[in-house]
């Protein structure tokens, strides 16, 4: 089976799919991965054949470039797989009479969840104005027949028959609205990755790990509060501050605090006892997989939703960024660290993840679905 995998160039939407591609190849499929040209090195990790298109700062141009590149080669393939934000994937496959499936690297969206995401701050917030969403959609899909006139509504209202979701059904908001036969929850996507070397060695103290993804407003003040919160505590603290932050801005770093530009997150999570995170889907999934309770400080997009899901599962606590000082940081982390109920809950979630299909099961589902479709 020759598979065309189409995606857009966003780290959190690509990285989870690499493990699935690896499994499809192991199970005898030929996979070509379509992404902008500057992603070729990353895709090489998967073993897939790389096919490129021109990148662009504007999302609309990215989608048009991806569509054009995909249409020029699609006839060579047997099966099309696309990530949710390439919303034309189903239409493209149907135009050329190809079986098609969709990947969700975050929770599946319905009307309620999409409204929550676009009313939060973030790149999708502009689409809370329907006229902008319609104009955006019209610009991209001029002569392409669609079920709706809004690309976000199209994601919700026009699903293919098979949708693979990289979380647990127990985590999914409004999970009862997603039919079991159409939406398959794989659990987190964890696979062997190339990560940088790391010089920290864990001792007998609990390890607190803090990483809020990209640079945040007031980062120096936030990270200094983190340092002060644990200055005299019997814990080790690892802070990942981001490539743009100047570590020299932090004053008087004690010996139990380790500050890095970046860290190999999976290696750190294997050692961590609490994870302070912004609540990005990849970070939450990786913490759940490794059994690390969380303090979630959400900012934009689906992060507030993820903070709510973490609290619903009883595997951590939310904390509002505007309320963070050295006292609230210390109290939140230490309460999670000492909470036996949270420890029990995260062990239960780990058990669910072990039973989840994962990338191996996802690959098997795709192959079975294709074989059934072409009979």
pLDDT of residue 297: 95
Count of CB atoms situated within 10 Å of the CB of 262: 11
User: Which of 3.20.20.70, 3.40.50.2000, 3.10.180.10, 3.40.50.2300 would CATH assign to domain 2-187+356-374?
Assistant: 3.40.50.2000
- Computed on alpha carbons and rounded to an integer, the radius of gyration of the chain in Å comes to 21
Q: Compute φ and ψ for 185, nearest 5 degrees.
A: -95, 115
- What is the rounded average pLDDT of the residues 107-129? 92
- Which tens digits make up the pLDDT trace of 69-82? 999 999 999 999 99
pLDDT of residue 212: 87
pLDDT at 17 over 90: yes
CATH top-level class for 207-354? alpha beta
Residues 246 and 219 sit within 8 Å (Cβ to Cβ) = no
- Which tens digits make up the pLDDT trace of 214-237? 656 668 889 999 999 999 899 999
- Which tens digits make up the pLDDT trace of 276-317? 999 999 999 999 999 999 999 998 889 999 999 999 999 999
In the chain, residues under CATH classification 3.40.50.2000 are: 2-187+356-374, 207-354
- What is the rounded average pLDDT of the residues 101-118? 94
pLDDT of residue 127: 94
Nearest one of 43, 53, 41, 39 to 21, comparing CA atoms:
43
**How far, in Å, CA of 116 to CA of 49, rounded?**
37
Q: What is the largest CA-CA distance in the chain?
A: 68
**How far, in Å, CA of 71 to CA of 96, rounded?**
9
The larger pLDDT score, comparing residue 370 to residue 213, is at 370
pLDDT of residue 215: 52
Q: Compute φ and ψ for 79, nearest 5 degrees.
A: -150, 140
H-state helical runs in the chain: 11-26, 40-44, 59-73, 89-95, 111-119, 130-140, 151-157, 219-229, 265-271, 281-290, 303-313, 326-337, 340-355, 358-374
The larger pLDDT score, comparing residue 213 to residue 198, is at 198
pLDDT of residue 217: 63
- Which tens digits make up the pLDDT trace of 243-280? 888 888 899 999 999 999 989 999 999 999 999 999 99
Residue 92's pLDDT band (cuts 50, 70, 90):
very high
Checking 345-348 for CB contacts under 8 A at 24+ apart, the result is: 345/313, 345/314, 345/315, 346/288, 346/291, 346/292, 346/293, 346/315, 347/291
Show the tokens assigned to 56.
């662009």
**How far, in Å, CA of 162 to CA of 182, rounded?**
5
Residue 191's pLDDT band (cuts 50, 70, 90):
confident
Tell me which DSSP letter residue 291 carries: T
């Amino acid at each position: 089976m020759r598979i065309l995998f189409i995606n857009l160039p966003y780290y959190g939407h690509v990285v989870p799919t690499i493990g699935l591609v690896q499994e499809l190849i192991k199970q005898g499929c030929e996979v070509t991965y379509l992404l902008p040209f500057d992603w070729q090195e990353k895709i090489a990790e998967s073993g897939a054949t790389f096919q490129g298109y021109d990148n662009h700062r504007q999302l609309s141009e990215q989608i048009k470039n991806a569509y054009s590149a995909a249409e020029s080669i699609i006839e060579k393939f047997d099966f099309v797989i696309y990530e949710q934000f390439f919303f034309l994937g189903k239409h493209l496959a149907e135009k050329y009479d190809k079986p098609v499936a969709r990947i969700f690297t975050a929770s599946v969206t319905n009307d309620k969840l999409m409204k929550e995401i676009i009313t939060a701050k973030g790149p999708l917030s502009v689409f809370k104005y329907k006229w902008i969403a319609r104009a955006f959609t019209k610009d991209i899909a001029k002569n392409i027949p669609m079920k709706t006139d809004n690309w976000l509504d199209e994601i919700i209202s026009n699903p293919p028959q098979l949708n693979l979701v990289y979380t647990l059904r127990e985590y999914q908001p409004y999970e009862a609205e997603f039919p079991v036969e159409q939406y398959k929850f794989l659990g987190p996507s964890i696979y062997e990755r190339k990560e940088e070397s790391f010089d920290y060695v864990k001792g007998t103290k609990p390890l607190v790990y803090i990483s809020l993804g990209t640079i945040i407003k007031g980062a120096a003040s936030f990270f200094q509060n983190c340092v002060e919160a644990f200055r005299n505590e019997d814990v080790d603290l690892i802070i990942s501050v981001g490539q743009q932050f100047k570590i020299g801005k932090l004053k008087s770093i004690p010996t139990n605090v380790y500050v890095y530009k970046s860290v190999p997150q999976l290696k750190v999570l294997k050692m961590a006892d609490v994870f302070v995170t912004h609540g990005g889907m990849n970070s939450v999934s990786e913490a759940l997989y490794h059994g690390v309770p969380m303090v979630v400080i959400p900012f934009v997009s689906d992060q507030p939703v993820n903070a709510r899901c973490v609290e619903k599962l009883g595997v951590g606590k939310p904390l509002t960024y505007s309320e963070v000082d050295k006292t609230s940081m210390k109290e939140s982390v230490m309460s999670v660290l000492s909470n036996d109920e949270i420890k029990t809950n995260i062990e239960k979630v780990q058990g669910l993840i072990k039973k989840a299909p994962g990338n191996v099961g996802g690959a098997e589902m795709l192959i079975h679905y294709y074989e059934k479709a072409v009979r």
